[in-house]
Amino acid sequence: MAKNQRHLTMVANWKMHKTGAEATAFLARLRELGAVKAGGCFVVVAAPFPALTAAVEAARGMDVAIAGQNLHWESEGAFTGEVSGAMLAAAGCTHVIVGHSERRHLFGETDEMVHKKVRAALAAGLTPIVCVGETEQQRAENETELILRYQFERAFWGMSAEDLRRCVLAYEPVWAIGTGNTATPAIAEGAHRFLRRCATDIFGAEAAAGFTILYGGSIKPGNLRALLEQPDVDGGLVGGASLDADAFATLVRAGNSN
């Protein structure tokens, strides 16, 4: 499947930003700007848990999917502070970010936890947006491919090509997240091509060719187009530049025209 047959996707990751009222105002502004179009790129907004219901309401009638930023792998239980996939789905989410590097590095999330979360998301009918990426030191020590293959294989361990079809992958080099050091288009393409090869090795050429692989790490209106021109870059996962509706609309427009 050629790139133009995969659905180009732009995901806003608000992290720990925005109340329900702020989420409503953002989506109202995005609607007013008219950047989200049927037939354009697929748009997802990942809001903090307390703002999800407001975001779902505000996005009604607009082609914007709402995502959680994390989930627990159990469906319910004595897990103070956690939410399940079923809870996210009941709140109106269709997607959930899994294994973001901030979860891995600040909250000790392991590859085993990421794997259980991917399974839990699928069981709840959600599309997991699974994040992988190497640190600056791992890249300097030429370990990027080793790390990417390991994270990929652990996240999707034991799954079928049909499961993979319901997942999205995000290549997010840790050194590029929130630093302003965006990966060059060549570096991003090299990693995406490698990850697609990992998918081919396990799930076959057809599943890998249809697999959406997003890039994340300091995406800005000025650097997105060159990234999207790469054959294996199928969209973006955007942190900082997604907090302002006008800036995010510019990114969505770039996605629409690619």
Positions marked active-site: 100, 172
Cα–Cα distance measured from residue 208 to residue 58, given in angstroms and rounded to the nearest whole number? 34
| Binding-site size, ligand PEP (CB under 6 A) | 15
Residue 204 C-beta: closest distance to ligand PEP, Å:
29
Nearest C-alpha neighbor of 132 from the set 213, 207, 69: 213
Number of H helices, E strands in the chain: 12, 8
Residue closer to ligand PEP, measured from CB, 13 or 230: 13
Q: Is 37 helix (H, G, I), strand (E, B) or coil?
A: coil
Cα–Cα distance measured from residue 59 to residue 88, given in angstroms and rounded to the nearest whole number? 16
109 binds ligand PEP (CB under 6 A): no
219 binds ligand PEP (CB under 6 A): yes
Residue nearest to ligand PEP (CB): 239
User: Which one of residues 99, 216, 235, 255 is an interface residue with ligand PEP (CB under 6 A)?
Assistant: 216
Q: Are 85 and 97 in contact (CB under 8 A)?
A: no
178 binds ligand PEP (CB under 6 A): yes
Residue closer to ligand PEP, measured from CB, 58 or 238: 238
173 binds ligand PEP (CB under 6 A): no
Contact letters (x/-) for ligand PEP, 85-104, by CB under 6 A? ---------------x----
70 binds ligand PEP (CB under 6 A): no
151 binds ligand PEP (CB under 6 A): no
Cα–Cα distance measured from residue 4 to residue 150, given in angstroms and rounded to the nearest whole number? 28
172 binds ligand PEP (CB under 6 A): yes
Residue closer to ligand PEP, measured from CB, 85 or 217: 217
Cα–Cα distance measured from residue 16 to residue 102, given in angstroms and rounded to the nearest whole number? 11
Q: Are 183 and 140 in contact (CB under 8 A)?
A: no
User: Which one of residues 238, 249, 251, 254 is an interface residue with ligand PEP (CB under 6 A)?
Assistant: 238
Residue 146 C-beta: closest distance to ligand PEP, Å:
22
Distance of CA 79 to the CA centre of its chain: 25
Residue closer to ligand PEP, measured from CB, 172 or 232: 172
Q: Are 250 and 25 in contact (CB under 8 A)?
A: no
Residue closer to ligand PEP, measured from CB, 237 or 254: 237
Nearest C-alpha neighbor of 99 from the set 76, 66, 73: 73
Q: Are 206 and 1 in contact (CB under 8 A)?
A: yes
Residues that bind ligand PEP (CB under 6 A): 13, 15, 100, 172, 177-178, 216-219, 237-241
